[in-house]
Chains A and B, each alone.
Chain A
Amino acid sequence: MSGGAFLSRIGFSVLAALLGVLFALPLIWFIFAPFNARAEMGLALPDPWTLSNFATVFQNSFAVRALFNSLIQSVGGVILIGAAATLAAYALSRSTIPGKSAVTYVLLLFSSVVSGSAAMVPIFLIISAMGLIDTQLAVILVFAGGLLPTAMFILRDFIDGIPKSYEESAMVAGASPLQAFFDVALPVIRPGIVVIVVWAFVNIWGSFLIPFILLRSSEQMPASVAIYSFYSEAGTPIVTLLAAYALIYSLPVVLLYLFVSWRFGFRFFGGIKA
């Protein structure tokens, strides 16, 4: 190795390490601060380690119920999106309707409008006219409308890559189209559905604007909104409680990722000879 190459390699390593530290610092704070009774914005080792922040957070019944509300909205949305996207994507992939790809692209175009801030006023008016303001259902429906097109698009692409001979062999062997779908096609496209489910869950779980606009009463608010209850009257954050609540709030998403990669992975298991 020449001297120049050695120096540039050292330079690169130092730069990479600096960048790594830059990204790691907030995460380290995120893990330390919840266990520190005197946490501030600065990074500090908890001394002593304590769970008192969590104890205080759990006394805030509004915040605790908000976590439950987040779960209802996310799980409800995920079930609706997962089921509808699977059926729609399967039909769009396997049917021979002319112009089916145009349908997908138009839907995809509108999806960014539906869940974007530009559509907030019309969405509010529609939900209001339906009499669904301040209901969990309103949040679930709006998210389903916004996320479904992209979910269908991703899943259709996934199903397009799966040979039709799976279902064809099942039907020749005596299965009805419905049996072929549930016995053969559905298990084979499950890895694709898992991707959609995780993606939709993370989207809904982390969203602030839509529930903030569509919900009124504190009993309905999700955690992304409730996190503001850890701000003082003056608008300054109560760092200790905010940190503890933020950690609890982020756990379900982390657990979901861990569960999915343990239980399903994102693999495809063969059986078709290419």
Chain B
Amino acid sequence: MASVVFENVTKTFGSFTAVAGVDLSIGDGEFVCLLGPSGCGKTTSLRMIAGLETPTSGKIFIGDQDVTGLHPKDRQISMVFQDYALYPHMNLADNIAYPLKVRGESVEKRHGRAREVADVLKIGTLLNRLPSQISGGQQQRTSLARALVYPSRVYLFDEPLSNLDAKLRLEARGFLNHLQRDMGMTAVYVTHDQAEAMALATRIAVMDQGRIVQYAPPIEIYRRPATTFVANFVGNPPMNLVPVEAAHGDGQLLLSADGLALGGLPMSSGVATALQASKALTLGIRPEHLTVAAPGAANAISGKLFANENMGPESLVTIERADGSRVTARIFTDDHIELGADVTLGFSLEHVHLFDSTGARIPADGEMPL
């Protein structure tokens, strides 16, 4: 196992900048998820660690070794591909043992090792089959077995679960989590699924337009999203963002927006700085922190019911405000509400997030590290 370091790495394809001056440090034994929408540069970053792309500028280190120009075969890494890339003409045993074959191991030795790994992944009985003769979940585990069959410094995953159906995906995710704890592997895992990143990562790097927007443990990404982009990307459903007009009043911060009833918030030094630039702030509140409240309640936002989706344990209640924007609440009761009825959603002040006019989070005074 080894650490991975990006030093001011940029990658351009023609006039398109896929990765723009990224600095990233992944510790030995860490499981880091690169999370972001498609085209944000996460897969390109992963492929640069693998050596399948070469940085336009900057350096990449694995351990203490500068691998920037090194061929993939000399990097001692493993990678699981999104499409699995199992060799169709080889049976599972040969597929799993291929990395050992190119390392010059004898047939008995490499097939023995392939069987060990396959048994752990519960595909030991399928070793004589061709990839086309097994199910999608089994193909996924075969590609994982091929990555695990030889000693490797870093394990790379390129959306390995995205081709599985929902149930298998949860199962595979749990297994990967177990594997990471068991082996203490250094892993870099690319995904656009925030739930996968939250479940697996020791740290998440949220990427947008070739840059890392926030790099922090999952709990911090969730509780203190650095920007409105992160707030809107993480969470299911994501955080509600309401543009508000800010004003001073009696040493308190007063926020106003259509349908918003809010008492004064404490005026922090961060807010004071933000207000010097612009009075237009953004208020963020997570759906799970909203509850149905009585009309006229303090600390609430109201609108007309737009949709009420019952998910079993919870309901997603969406209201539409006068300006057409929507706010969604996760409600753990199943009250019946008529469409178009006036609904007030209440919250407590400790769950309010504030972002300045550039979209950056405004920290509260005296915030402790999580």
A residues with a Cβ closer than 8 A to B are 163, 165-166, 168-176, 179, 183-184, 187-188, 268-274
Contacts and interface: CB of A to CB of B under 8 A. Distances in A.
Given A172-B50, A173-B98, A273 B87 contact: no
B206 interface: no
Contacts of B140: 273
A271 B102 contact: no
Interface in B317-343: none
A188 to B, nearest CB: 6
Given A172-B77, A187-B89, A273-B163, A163 B83 contact: yes
A68 to B, nearest CB: 34
A171 B50 CA distance: 9
B21 to A, nearest CB: 23
A169 B73 contact: no
Contacts of B84: 271-273
B346 interface: no
B231 interface: no
Interface of B: 50-52, 71-73, 75, 77-79, 81-89, 98-99, 101-103, 130-132, 136, 139-140, 143, 146, 150, 156, 163
Given A168-B52, A270-B132, A271-B87, A174 B163 contact: no
Top 3 closest pairs, chain A to chain B, by CB: A271-B88, A173-B99, A271-B131
B81 A171 contact: no
Given A173-B78, A174-B102, A175-B73, A272 B85 contact: yes
Contacts of A163: 83, 85
A264 to B, nearest CB: 11
26 contacts: A163-B83, A165-B81, A168-B52, A168-B72, A169-B85, A170-B102, A171-B51, A171-B72, A172-B50, A172-B75, A173-B73, A173-B99, A174-B73, A174-B99, A174-B102, A174-B103, A174-B150, A175-B73, A176-B73, A183-B87, A269-B89, A270-B131, A270-B132, A271-B86, A273-B82, A274-B83
Contacts of A272: 83-86, 88
Contacts of B132: 269-271
Nearest to B143: A169
B72 A187 contact: no
A50 to B, nearest CB: 48
B150 A173 contact: yes
A265 to B, nearest CB: 13
B81 A169 contact: yes
Nearest to B88: A271
Contact of B136 (A165, A187, A273): A273
B88 A170 contact: no
A161 to B, nearest CB: 13
B179 to A, nearest CB: 18
B71 A171 contact: yes
A172 B136 contact: no
A188 B87 contact: yes
Nearest to B149: A173
Nearest to A270: B132
Contacts of B73: 171-176
A270 B134 CA distance: 11
